[in-house]
Structure 1
Amino acid sequence: MLQTFQPRGLALDTLLRLPAALRVRAFATAAPSPSPTSAQSPIPPPWRPSTVLDEWVGREARPISLRQLTFFGRSLTESRLLGSANYVRLELPTRIAHRLRNMQTLPYSALTNQHISHVYELYYTAFERLRKVPEVRTMNDNDKFCDVLKMCLKEHLSVIPRLAMGILEIQDSVSGDECDRFMTTLLRSRISRRVIAEQHLALTETFHSPWHFDGKKSHMSPDDEFVGEIFLKCNAKEIIEQCAKTASELTAKAYGPDVAIPKIVLQGHLDTTFPYIPSHLEYIIGELFRNSIQAVVEQEGSAKPPPIEVLVCEAAQHVIIRVSDQGGGIDRDILPYLWSFAKGPRRKKRLQNLGQVPQLAATMQELQLPPSDPDVVGATGEKFGSPLATLSSRPPDLRIGIGLPMSRIYAEYWAGSLELHSLEGYGCDAFLQISRLGNRNEVLSTRATMDAV
């Protein structure tokens, strides 16, 4: 019986190494507390069977590339759509199971943290819901499965801020380096799950569109440039200009109409296009502009601030985007922790700011003020349970300390990179590298790396 049930948060191998008397005590302390003394009291998680989770953890995730997603959706037929549904149906619980096992390797005291426990419960609920979905054989089955996907996407909007707050609070029992590895693994997996879920939802939407004719490529879409969520001709110039406009307006609202906003000067290969998911690129570039514009405004305070220069370079395999500002560089006390979720000198302030961010889908719209109508739906990556108001009540200059490390995870997800070089007293250069061909598999955490945690 001890091998069949384990308290959530206590690793199975650790439990089985305990003497029998201590195993009993471990189970006893894992029982739900009948009357916690306060809302902040840690509530031990309930018993759960581990055998079902073990079965799914034994499977490896099957990574996929943008090119494969595009090829699969170009000539969309009912058979292909049902194949997509069954791929997602098996892949999502597999990837969630791996992350649940990640969380079970944390010390028990860390897993009883209210934020980590909240995320664990969301993941386990989604795992149970998804693993019980039967094989998708008909379009009616697919529509029911899509309803399940939408529900999961909406419920998990609170994951990022709760994870970020949790790792800032558990550092008495988990080192900062361990917290960063844990956060990176969970966020990378989260991106992967949202990509395949949203892609299938978008393909289903395409299949039901009035202009779609089953299996005919010429009727894939009105302009044949989108395949699900993937934009086949993503143009760096257009994305940069859109993000620059949004970030400039955001800064103007934060600092008032009397503050001069630096111009964005765009140069290089401005006609280059590549397949990509626009919301990913918008989020990365939007965060870079947000940081650069604010740094210049706070550094200069003059009527004519120096411009922010953006250079687009097209190579055979990659597109490189460099963002250069003269905002004074990064403070020495922050620079060593630039890519860390857990470490740094502003932990308390970050916790306070994250508390004002109840939901976070990580899209460009979240760099903006929430609209007055919470039901408005954005154009990029926000159709499935993520309204523009996901950052309700967030001031435009609210800094939550996770923008750059999250941007790097997004860049690396499709085998790209994000680097930043600071020249103290002068400014910063950020280098974003993107795979131009879309033929690189998504970067996932394998079971081997998971077991090494």
Structure 2
Amino acid sequence: MTAFQQYFHRRDGPHHRQDHLRGGLPAFLMSECWVDRPIRPISLRQLFFFGRTLTEERLISSANYVRSELPTRLAHRLRDMQKLPYVVVTNPHLSTVYELYYKAFETLRRVPLIKTVEENDEYCKAISGTLKEHLAVIPNLVIGVLECQDLVHPQMMEDFINTMLRARISRRVIAEQHLALTETFDSPWHFPEKKSESEFVGEVLLRCNARDIVKQSGELAQQLSRKATNSDSAIPEIKISGHLEATFPYIQSHLEYIVGELLRNSILAVMEKNHGTCSKPSPIEVLICEAPQHVVIRISDQGGGIPRDIVPYLWSFNKGPKNAARLRNLEKVPAMAATVDELQTSSARQGASNNHALPEKRRDSSLSSLSSRPPNLRLGMGLPMSRVYAEYWAGSLQLHSLEGYGVDVFLQISKLGNQNEQINTRASIDAV
């Protein structure tokens, strides 16, 4: 019996009350001591201002912020899983996720106050190990939710997975930001008292250019489609117009993921509509609009639109008519992570144009199997996952389909970087 299942056995059994009367919490309830602790959201502006002048004192302060936040945020999600109905607990995929989270919580909550750079280096090793162990969380989470869709109310599982994924992004953001700051501090080219002139502060790209992201993400999507079809003639052109010099602070990999998934969808739709004809495929139009508070990227295609019976399920992880096929395809993807750092693989970068090359900031590949998947390996999670990413930094993602003609997608991004990460600040089920 797993720890996840043992928790429920104890919760409903006669010994659960006795454990409390003996003055100590069972190991499975240790997370409840942390659920009362508040989560402290952070903004992109705070991330890059804090790291611009990176001293030893600031690095240690960052380490202790992460040291407090990671187990607190894990505890809230453990609590959410502990509140699931028992019939859901028996699912082996969700049980695997719980075991990974519980192990990480138990490891990270025991880390003492960090006082030196050497202690921080050891802590970074623990964080890195945890990130690698969690590569299989997303496929297990999505598969588990899909398998449980007939056991509980679908909306309950929809809310659950959205909360879990958004929280997962939040943990990886603060963990990877601190790892990047530590790498910067340890670099022989780092001068602690000098303000950094780098384009990156940790994982944050200070002047993220929408045109460059669209260009390289589009080239990658085109290359993957070209490889699948062995044809150049069927690949639609991507035209970019509007405010081409618009920049904003952002985590590059987040925007690459969203834009890459949207362009992949448009390319596939146009190719399918054009299949069997000799006509040139219609281009995909990308318009970039800059306003004082935000930037909007509109992606328009003439791929025939979305069938009416599919539209109600576009933003759902577990609803819709094609879940059996989604399950089969998800099982082919062994590991995924929420940062999507390798959306642009090395081979794709070699084939891409260097006219507007993006600055390099890459960690160990964690989503290569997803980002390089064949175009016909459809997971049914690109749009809902993209919306989770867009809303995480207080943006939005909307889609308008004209059946028989095409689709317009609008991605709105907060331009100033002053919006806090959008996460649940306490265990979602306890908050109602």
TM over 0.5: yes
Is 2:168 the counterpart of 1:170? no
- Give 1:368 shift: 6.3
Could you give the per-residue CA deviations for residues 139-178 of structure 1, whole angstroms, max 9, x where no partner exists?
1100000000100110111111110000000123222111
Distance 1:388 1:401 in 2: 16
CA contact (8 A) 1:370 1:393 kept: no
Is 2:243 the counterpart of 1:245? no
TM-score, normalised with respect to structure 2: 0.90
Q: Which residue of 2 aligns with 1:118?
A: 96
Match of 1:197 among 166, 172, 175: 175
Is 2:397 the counterpart of 1:418? yes
Is 2:249 the counterpart of 1:270? no
CA contact (8 A) 2:236 2:270 kept: yes
Is 2:112 the counterpart of 1:134? yes
Match of 1:150 among 123, 128, 139: 128
- Give 1:390 shift: 3.9
Is 2:399 the counterpart of 1:444? no
1:49-128 map, 5 Å: 49-128=27-106
Distance 1:249 1:393 in 2: 10
Match of 1:279 among 253, 268, 290: 253
Is 2:22 the counterpart of 1:24? no
Match of 1:181 among 144, 148, 159: 159
Match of 2:315 among 326, 333, 339: 339
TM-score, normalised with respect to structure 1: 0.86
Closer, same or farther: CA 286–258 of 1 in aligned 2, 3 Å: closer
CA contact (8 A) 2:235 2:267 kept: yes
Unaligned runs of at least 5 residues, structure 1? 28-46, 372-377
Q: Which deviates the most, 202-211 or 51-60?
A: 51-60
CA contact (8 A) 1:234 1:278 kept: yes
The residue type paired with residue 230 of structure 1 is V
Q: Secondary structure at the match of 1:244?
A: helix
- Give 1:90 shift: 0.6
Distance 1:265 1:392 in 2: 22
Q: Which residue of 1 aligns with 2:332?
A: 356
Q: Which residue of 2 aligns with 1:405?
A: 384
The residue type paired with residue 316 of structure 1 is P
CA RMSD, aligned part only? 2.5
Distance 1:312 1:366 in 2: 21
Match of 1:365 among 337, 342, 345: 342
- Give 1:441 shift: 0.3
CA contact (8 A) 2:289 2:297 kept: yes
Distance 1:364 1:109 in 2: 35
The residue type paired with residue 395 of structure 1 is P
CA contact (8 A) 1:8 1:48 kept: no
Q: Secondary structure at the match of 1:216?
A: coil
CA contact (8 A) 1:418 1:433 kept: yes
Q: Secondary structure at the match of 1:173?
A: coil
- Give 1:54 shift: 1.4
The residue type paired with residue 134 of structure 1 is P
Q: Secondary structure at the match of 1:437?
A: coil
Unaligned runs of at least 5 residues, structure 2? 18-24, 349-357
Distance 1:283 1:336 in 2: 23
- Give 1:60 shift: 1.3
CA contact (8 A) 1:260 1:303 kept: no
Distance 1:284 1:388 in 2: 14
CA contact (8 A) 1:247 1:367 kept: no
Q: Which has the higher contact order (CA 8 A, sep 6+)?
A: 2
CA contact (8 A) 1:206 1:212 kept: yes
